[in-house]
Amino acid sequence: MALPVLLYVPNLIGYLRVVLALAGYYYALADHRVTVGCYFVSQILDAADGYAARKLGQSSSFGAVLDMVTDRASTTCLCIVLGRLYPDLVFTFTCLVMLDMFSHWYQMYATLKMGLGSHKDVTNPILRFYYWKPVLFLSCAGTELWYMAMYVSHFDPNPLVGTALLVALPVCAFKQVANVVQLVVAANTIVEHDQQLADAASRKAS
């Protein structure tokens, strides 16, 4: 009998990432060092679970969803904390969370509708560039660095953190542009699919 999917090594890593996120955000307003430690360990494990899935032949739809939902939830929770620390920027962080969720969920649903193997299977040139592994890594790492630098700067404003904010800002901005493009492309794909179904139903009815 094959190993149960729930016990795949990359999925076990995913569970650990969820625990780390919960632990980190529990201390978010009390001890930023614990939160930073948990956050960066989780990001390292994010790379490790994909490597383990490929190396061990343990890729699964469950694992892909777990990985994506953990990423989205982690970023959303961090934005909630940042909204608490920077009340004047609550609307900004709200917009970032909404864009992140809309973009990725529309893309995932469009992928399922088109029967593609991965949400990274794209034809749009901007998205193909974004999903090129080196660019994707830098975009995600830079965005996470910007969020975390914003968090740390509230507790420990020093030149190094300020430099990290400035360096990561254009990378984070590029990722938001990619999210907008991804949302538009995915939404159009779903609308076209719905329109084809509606046209077919109309022809059948007539």
Q: CB–CB of 142/168 below 8 Å? A: yes
Q: 75-80, long-range: CB within 8 Å, 24+ apart, which pairs?
A: 75/100, 75/144, 75/147, 76/100, 76/101, 77/21, 77/25, 78/25, 78/39, 78/147, 78/148, 78/151, 79/147
Among 71, 156, 194, 199, the one annotated catalytic: 71
First and final C-alpha spacing in the chain: 53
Whether 71 is a known active-site residue: answer yes
- Calculate Rg over the CA atoms of the chain: 19
Structure tokens at 3: 């190993």
Burial string for 117-155 (b: 16+ CB within 10 Å, else e) reads eebeebeeeebeebbeeebeeebbebbbbbbbbbbbbee
Structure tokens at 92: 């900004």
Q: Which residues are catalytic?
A: 71
